[in-house]
Amino acid sequence: MINSSTYPNVRRLICVAGPPCSGKTFALRALQKGENPQLSAILGITDPQSWLAFAPGWLPPECPPELDRAFFHYDILRIWKFGGQGGQFAKDRALHLLAECESLEFVTLLTTTDTLRQRFAARPMLKMMARTLIRPGEFMKMMVCYFRMHKLYRAPEMLSELYTEWFEFTGQFNPKAHYVVDSSDGYSAVDVEEMVRYLSSEKRPQKNQVSGI
What is the C-alpha separation between 190 and 210, in angstroms, rounded? 8
What is the C-alpha separation between 38 and 49, in angstroms, rounded? 17
* 24 within 8 A of 111, measured Cβ to Cβ: no
CATH number for the domain formed by residue range(s) 4-201: 3.40.50
What is the C-alpha separation between 17 and 107, in angstroms, rounded? 6
pTM for this entry: 0.81
Mean pLDDT across the chain, nearest whole number? 79
Chain segment 44-92, per-residue pLDDT in tens: 999 998 999 999 988 888 888 899 999 999 999 888 766 554 558 988 8
What is the C-alpha separation between 106 and 43, in angstroms, rounded? 10
Taking the CB of residue 184, how many other CB atoms lie within 10 A of it?
18
What is the C-alpha separation between 49 and 67, in angstroms, rounded? 13
Q: List the one residue out of 162, 142, 80, 150 whose CA is nearest residue 117.
A: 150
The neighbouring-strand residues paired with 19 are none
Residue type, 118: Q
Chain segment 123-161, per-residue pLDDT in tens: 765 555 555 444 556 666 666 677 777 788 888 888 888
Determine the pLDDT at residue 14: 97
Determine the pLDDT at residue 153: 83
* 184 within 8 A of 111, measured Cβ to Cβ: yes
CA atoms within 13 A on the CB side of 147: 5
DSSP symbols for 67-92: EEEEEEEEEGGGGGGGTS-TTGGGG-
Determine the pLDDT at residue 191: 54
* Distance, CA of 193 to chain centre: 19
> Hey, where are the domains in the chain?
4-201
What is the C-alpha separation between 150 and 152, in angstroms, rounded? 6
Q: List the one residue out of 76, 55, 78, 67 whose CA is nearest residue 103.
A: 67
CA atoms within 13 A on the CB side of 16: 29
Q: In which region does residue 203 sit, left (phi positive, over 0), alpha (psi from -120 to 50) or beta (all else)?
A: beta
